[in-house]
Structure 1
């Protein structure tokens, strides 16, 4: 009886590991930077503009809706990998953040005159005298109609670059 129990436990651990690796294989492969200076460096290195996503991830209904309807879709994933460096600037109410991130995000909110969420700015930047110097390309927010409608607006903004 003990032997059967041990064998069952061993086999079930292999099944759970296999399921876990399968699930991880299906996860989105997008990287959302939270360090603006790192994002600027990547943007300049790849010659892609930054997509700056100003969000209240744990309280803003429109932000959550934008995530579900656009930012977490396969269409957006393909487009983003080809066209932009993703930057998340989050202003949560319940999720803890470091003081460094809070200060950085507050400065970005001020620099881009963010009044509401979600707001997405497309921008390029250079570091001058240790400080970022941004060039805004245009902005948008939630766009009804799913990923294709949203991506048409985004393409219109970044093609002006």
Structure 2
């Protein structure tokens, strides 16, 4: 019985030890697919510019095409205030780690274009002034330069 319990615990531990965060998975995918990563810090239920960014850029066909064309991996580090919108504990922890590393000033929205190794290529503080197509084309130009 002890051996079965030990084997079960070892199997569970190895699954959790090898679990990747969304950002680590994005880096892996970006490396394999030769893509860039867009990391966006948002407050989805309280930050008006964040809500506009998602509605007017992130949710558009022009932006979504960046993913389907294998140009971009998108990661959203969301910090909602409402209890009903809270992410899982694992996502909260990952978002906090990402904020410590990439957004120590706590800016919202804050959007960062990274290469597959996590090196910062460009940042946008606040709501980008471009339309969705211009924003997407700027990302495409970074992709073509690499």
Per-residue deviation, 1:54: 1.1
Cα distance, 1:109–1:160 mapped onto 2, change above 3 Å: farther
Contact 1:76 1:151 in 2 (8 A): yes
Structure 1: 5+ residue runs without aligned partners? 1-33, 127-133
Task: Say whether the 8 Å CA contact 1:120–1:139 is kept in structure 2.
Answer: yes
Q: Deviations over 1:42-89 (max 9, x none)?
A: 111111011111111111100110111111111222233221011111
Describe the superposition over 1:76-131 as per-residue Cα deviations: whole angstroms up to 9, x where unpaired: 222332210111111111112222211111111111134311111111344xxxxx
Question: Are the aligned partners of 1:90 and 1:105 in contact in 2 as well (CA < 8 Å)?
Answer: yes
1:55 maps to 42
Match of 1:151 in 2: 136
Find the counterpart in structure 2 of residue 97 from structure 1.
Answer: 87
Secondary structure of 2:119's partner?
strand
> What is aligned with 2:52?
65
2:113 is matched with: 122
Alpha-carbon contact 1:137-1:158 (below 8 Å) kept:
no
Q: For residues 122 and 65 of structure 1, do their structure 2 counterparts lie closer, same or farther at Cα, with a shift above 3 Å needed?
A: same
Q: Are 1:137 and 2:136 counterparts? A: no
Give the match for residue 35 of structure 1. Answer: 22
With the length of structure 2 as denominator, give the TM-score of the two structures: 0.72
Structure ID, larger Rg: 1
CA contact (8 A) 1:51 1:120 kept: yes
